[in-house]
Structures are given as structure tokens and as C-alpha cells.
């Protein structure tokens, strides 16, 4: 519950349907019997709450964590439309928009500050909106896209990421 009080008083049960990884190319649906509890806290705003299933699915999710991870990996490797076609063929039907949504939710690991930094301005919309892209020159990979092309924004980024030795424009 939101008050974090423990409760063992069962209010009732409901069935939660969650899609899981396919078996031999056949889509699998899990029908889970989930308990609802009555909150023991008298001042709690929530009167009932359901038991969480953190190992199986996120709250209110319609797909298991395993299935979401597999579809996300397909999206990262093949892109939205192709990943949706592959997933459907493998028994994990999904739309390209859902694949892209799963990819966008991917948490990116924080990279170490590069010693060689490339800085370039480019026009997002011709003559109207300029951005700054930062590139790690040792790996030739983009690091970040700054919201504008001002020197103050670049200076703020450099102060937050000490360790840059060479800057190439």
C-alpha cells in the first residue's frame, strides 16, 4: 500500500492476463490469480491494494518483463518495422510503435567523459533552429545533443563533465 503498512487480510482475487515468451512459436498468455488486500492503516488513502509481481510484470503491464526485454532487444538490433515483423513471425505479435516505445524507455548507461571531444553545430530546421552535437573522437560515437548552439550551454556541459583534454571544432 502507499502507507507501507503490512496487511494479511485478503479482500478478494482477480485474474490478470499477461503475455509471455512464446512456446514453439505459439504466443503464450499467463492467467495469474492476484490477491487484493485491505490496508491495515486507518489513515491510509488507499483502502485496498493488489500484491505486486515484480519478477513477472511491471504494475499494470500487459506483457511480462521477459517478453518486453526480448522485444526491446529486437528493436535495438533491427529497428521498429523489421523488429515487429520478426517478433510476429516468432510468436510475439507487436506493432512497430510498441517496439519503438520499448526502445525509447531503454536506460542508457552513463559514459565516461572522453579526453578527445568533437563539437559541431548543425541546423535542426534550416536557418531557424541550431543544435550542438558532441562526439567522442576516440570512438567516433555521438555523446550528446545540446539544445542550442550557444557557448554558455557548451561551457555548462564542460563544467559538468571535467576531464576533456582536447576539443576539436
Render pLDDT for 3-53 as a digit per residue (tens, 0 to 9): 777 788 888 999 999 999 999 999 999 999 999 988 887 778 888 888 888
Which residue, among 81, 83, 16, has the nearest Cα to 51 in the 3D structure?
A: 16
- DSSP state string for 109-141: PPPPPPSEEEEEEEEEETTTEEEEEEEETTTTE
Render pLDDT for 71-93 as a digit per residue (tens, 0 to 9): 999 999 998 899 999 999 999 99
Helix then strand count (H, E) for the chain reads 4, 7
Rounded to two decimals, the pTM is: 0.64
Amino acid at each position: 500500500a502507499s502507507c507501507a503498512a503490512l496487511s494479511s487480510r485478503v479482500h478478494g482475487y482477480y485474474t490478470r492476463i499477461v503475455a509471455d515468451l512464446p512456446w514453439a512459436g505459439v504466443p503464450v498468455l499467463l492467467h495469474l490469480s492476484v490477491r487484493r488486500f485491505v490496508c491495515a492503516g486507518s489513515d491510509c488513502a488507499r483502502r485496498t491494494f493488489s500484491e505486486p509481481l515484480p519478477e513477472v510484470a511491471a504494475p499494470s503491464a500487459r506483457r511480462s518483463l521477459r517478453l518486453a526485454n526480448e522485444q526491446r532487444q529486437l528493436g535495438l538490433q533491427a529497428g521498429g518495422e523489421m523488429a515487429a515483423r520478426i517478433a510476429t513471425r516468432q510468436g510475439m505479435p507487436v506493432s512497430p510503435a510498441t517496439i519503438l516505445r520499448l526502445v525509447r524507455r531503454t536506460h542508457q548507461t552513463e559514459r565516461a567523459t572522453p579526453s578527445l571531444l568533437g563539437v559541431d553545430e548543425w541546423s535542426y530546421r534550416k536557418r531557424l533552429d541550431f543544435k550542438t552535437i558532441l562526439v567522442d573522437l576516440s570512438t567516433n560515437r555521438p555523446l550528446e545533443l545540446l539544445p542550442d548552439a550557444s557557448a554558455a550551454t557548451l561551457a555548462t556541459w564542460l563544467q559538468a563533465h571535467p576531464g576533456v583534454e582536447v576539443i576539436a571544432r
